[in-house]
Amino acid sequence: MRKKIVAGNWKMNTTFQEGIDLAIEINNLVVEKAHKEVIVVVAPPFTHISEVNKAVDNDRIFVAGQNCATENSGAYTGEVSAEMLWSAGADFVILGHSERRSYYGETNEKLKVKVTKALEFNLTPIYCVGEVLEEREANKHFEVIKEQIESVLFDLAEADFEKVVIAYEPVWAIGTGKTASPEQAQEIHKYIRTLLTSKFGDAAKKTSILYGGSCKPSNAKELFANADVDGGLIGGAALSANDFLAIINAF
């Protein structure tokens, strides 16, 4: 049975104390009211990870980094390695987010290295794929996602592939208030699973595929009802403990 996962990406939000306070608020709600079968992940800024990890019940809430470096260590000012994330208490890392691809020029080639580094240090990669508006309108979304998945994941051994979580982001729906319809989400998620099955066989049936485009309390239940939508990578709504809980309980 596939794991149900709701991961909150805080992006570049919250001061240190605000982040700890939010983590404590989320933790209290999750422990008291959240569906226990849902894996809950929070991805605070790097500066918060160690203390957020201490502030939450580690049996109920896991902590993620929002990115990691392609290198293990060295003269790479401003970078944070997978090993550093692991040593600070992270269990997951978000890789290939559309904002990293768009603003910082991250390529599939570079992300392939990052996925390998994450796995090397026992982090679960949440690997993001998705198309921008122009690609969707040109009917190239399947082609784009195929390239993003094949070039980054298809050289993994099956045992490593089984540790990866996929997040589909319709980039045109992030921060715009637009959302892919449940039918659009299911179409892409099913395509992703079919593509993964062509390479990894039955292992793909166990892969959790999250929806990551403006998922919020008002649409989460409808999105999560789809056969191939296994949860969400949540942006803005993850900064409200009550909204985040509502999404967790939308299953």
Active site residues: 97, 169
Query: Would you call 196 helix, strand, or coil by DSSP?
Result: helix
Q: How far apart are CA 240 and CA 228, in angstroms?
A: 26
The count of other CB atoms within 10 Å of the CB of residue 155 is 13
Q: How far apart are CA 93 and CA 126, in angstroms?
A: 6
Place of tokens 């789809």: 226
For residue 126, which phi and psi values (nearest 5 degrees)?
-100, 95
Burial 95-134 (b: 16+ CB within 10 A, else e): bbbbbbbeeeebebebbbbbbbbbbebebbbbbbbbbbee
Containing H/E element for 76? none
Question: Is the CB of residue 12 less than 8 Å from the CB of residue 240?
Answer: no
Angle at 13 between CA 122 and CA 118, to 5 degrees: 15
Tell me the C-alpha to C-alpha distance, in Å, between residue 78 and each of 46, 47, 69, 89, 106.
11, 12, 10, 19, 16
